Structure 1
């Protein structure tokens, strides 16, 4: 790069390790002042332009937003505030990546965790495929308080009624379905009575739910459960929410 009464845009861009397009963009946004032009009409950049460009590139490579660079260069107070904010953002990003790596390591050890809702990892092995699927779906529908309750309930041994429901086959007799529905309804109602956050979530679903998410649960019930299980849920629902209370 030789001094010839000033450098061209291409020369200054090459030396600073950037592109002509980038230099022109800095001109447009007022970050880099345009130099004068020579007799041939071409821009003539001097050492101050080059230093300014290199300092802009330095800050940009560190992650400083272009909209903040002028303030950083002009005010020590602004520089410290902006750089500290950037440092905090980078620290949060590193923490997130470390957390993601830890989760990936856990999934590599136990692939079933990839199918498990966040926060339920410790209970994944104790849940069957159906339970994991519904917990994963409801994690995007229920409020955090309701999910906390579900996590606590999941940690408890599966009840006899819940186990029977999971294994219920389509050829279950009407008597078997009704007996299971009555016992299952007692357990569901007890859990709801003991945990207001869960009752609030279930009551909302019973009342029609969120029009954006309710169809998800309905499709899940139809596609993941067999006809006997759906029948048992309908019977249990009738017991928990009798006509007089609707």
Structure 2
């Protein structure tokens, strides 16, 4: 099972969906979904990812990020380093769970809880933002942003010394974009020299639903 497959499995559990229900609602066969979530199953079509994202209530870019997670370029792989006995596990979204509504232009703090479930203490490590601007060029040469982005106040957060078995909370301050939509920010752990700590891990993400003041008023009303 690849990164996308693990995410589909876990997200379905969160939403109380079976694989059959996911297939029915997305209009995709169970075989198509299984192939997308399996190593060697080939790259899923963008239309498939969009339909799955709608059912799972996440931005399609979140699923695309997971697809590319298993397609790192050789140069990127050479910068990764996995020490024997070094393992991590996601514990909880302490603040701002996936899909949480935030106002356009607002600032908020996202906090994740992560546990060192290996035998190697964590020291001299950083949580780095992995977001890239998605742009397209028009025929006239105009640069257009494909998707709205969350804007973190910093691109890197120091990970405190964390002994094996300990749980650490990591926080990042964000500013929401000025237009409504679903936004995702993606983060991964690095050593001090820039190498990835867990090259095959999904990493941490902040996924929010950015709403306008009018929409917020409708919800309250």
TM exceeds 0.5?
no
For the pair shown, which has the larger CA radius of gyration, 1 or 2?
1
TM-score by length of 1: 0.23
Higher relative contact order (CA 8 A, sep 6+): 2
TM-score by length of 2: 0.25
More strand by share: 2
More helix by share: 1
